[in-house]
Amino acid sequence: MEIPRIRVENTDDICVLICHLIYSLGCPLSKNQLIEITSFEDAVNYFGLMKAIEKADGHLLKAVETDDEIYYSNTEFGVKAARELGSSVPLSIRDKTFQEAVRVYTRDAMKKKGSQIAIRYIQNLDNTCTIGIRIMDEETTKQKYFLEMTAENPEKADFIKNKIKGDPKAFTDYLENYFNI
């Protein structure tokens, strides 16, 4: 017997999920990024996503064109929806799509900036923070490592983020030396 898939179908819930992703990630996302993120494990139907973006645009979301692509960020109402209604979206969907958002965002940001390391974190309901760290191979520019860790609070997450960003080569060397790679 197949286990039923949890999926967000209601347009209003999809709007809240989009606001939650942008709020949690702390940066705008493009329509293509939103499609890739929400289609991960079929969390949201493509047509439902398009309907939600159209409904939220101008009220919950603000569209800005950058580098010939439309990026969406939260309006004041979008931030409020993310904070107050984000927990109405199933936790498994929030977790899966956030992890995918970190992966997609860091991949795209690293391509633009030519960086070899990217770090994002989200504050969880219990005040802990989930940190996503992506390290790219300098020669192939493909993902070499993706680490996910938890910090006890936002201050510790900021400390970890700043420490790694302060000397990304030392962090990468540490990982490789630790695992004798």
Query: What strands lie across the sheet with 61-66, from one edge to the other?
Result: 29-30, 69-74, 61-66
pLDDT for res 155: 93
pLDDT for res 26: 81
pLDDT for res 137: 74
% helix, strand, coil for the chain, step of 5: 55, 25, 25
Mean pLDDT by 10 residues, the chain (181 residues): 71 95 89 93 92 96 86 94 91 88 79 71 83 78 82 92 86 86 65
pLDDT for res 117: 81
pTM of the predicted model over 0.75 = no
Domains along the chain? Answer: 8-99 (1.10.10.10), 115-181 (3.30.160)
pLDDT for res 4: 52
pLDDT for res 76: 94
Q: What is the DSSP string of 3-58?
A: PPPP-B--HHHHHHHHHHHHHHHTS-EEHHHHHHHHHGGG-B-HHHHHHHHHHHBT
pLDDT for res 115: 63
